Amino acid sequence: MENIYVTSGGFNTINNYVPEDNIRLFEKLSNGKKVLIIANAAPEGTGNYVARENVRENFLKAGATQADVVDLNSDNVEMILDYDIIYGLGGNITHLIELNKNTRFKDYLVKFLETGIYIGESAGSMILANDVKYAYDLKRGTKPKYDVILDSYAGLGLIDIYVYPHFQKASDEMKAKTEKFELDTGISITRLNDGDIITYSYSNKKNNSI
């Protein structure tokens, strides 16, 4: 069963372009289900903060019986097992790296994926990679959030691609930099535009593009 949805725009209609086909897909997935929206990457004071309520409302309109916005930490991370769908909100990926580093998030998420569905939006998709250092190396100097130096860039290791979300917004300079980065490092970057979705079955990590 395909139970990991790697997206750029997700179900965030206030910040991103979400085509009708994707809206219908999210309606199909979430109708009658309980949804947990992981909001760590979108803290108060950031541009993504307003997306917390937008995504919650979108899931409720789509037929979800419950949609909760939660900042996960070591005290509540096990609550993800109480939901049918987990949605990783976009924003600052550093906060998701810290969540992965300081809690048993991956352990609980792997257990959750035995029956549940994970939908990642932007940073919520990027964190699924084995290592997220590529994003900082590639985007350093473009935004302050990519200029930090971390002692670990470990991701969740649930997918075998390295995502560049919102690529439709990339400048010509950034597109050229991405090509050079691939040549210099041997790392292949998966360019995702808003509206693109790549699906995975966690059991074998086989992906299919929609």
The count of structural domains within the chain is 1
Distance CA 20, CA 37 (A): 21
Task: Please name the residues in contact with 59: beta carbons below 8 A apart, sequence gap of 6 or more.
Answer: 11, 26, 30, 35, 37, 67, 85, 87
Q: Quote the pLDDT of residue 47.
A: 87
For residues 195-208, give the mean pLDDT: 77
145 secondary structure, DSSP code: G
3-state secondary structure (DSSP) of residue 99 = helix
> Could you give the CA distance from residue 139 to residue 197 in angstroms, rounded to a whole number?
22
| pLDDT tens string 143-194 | 999 999 999 999 999 999 999 999 999 999 999 999 999 999 999 999 999 9
The confidence band for 204, taking pLDDT boundaries of 50, 70 and 90, is: very low
The span from the CA of 3 to the CA of 26, in Å, is 12
- Write down how long the chain is: 210
CATH code for the domain of 94: 3.40.50.880
pLDDT tens-place string over residues 28-49: 999 999 999 999 999 999 989 9
**What's the pLDDT tens digit per position in 78-135?**
999 999 999 999 999 999 999 999 999 999 999 999 999 999 999 999 999 999 999 9
Residue-number span of the structural domain to which 109 is assigned: 4-209
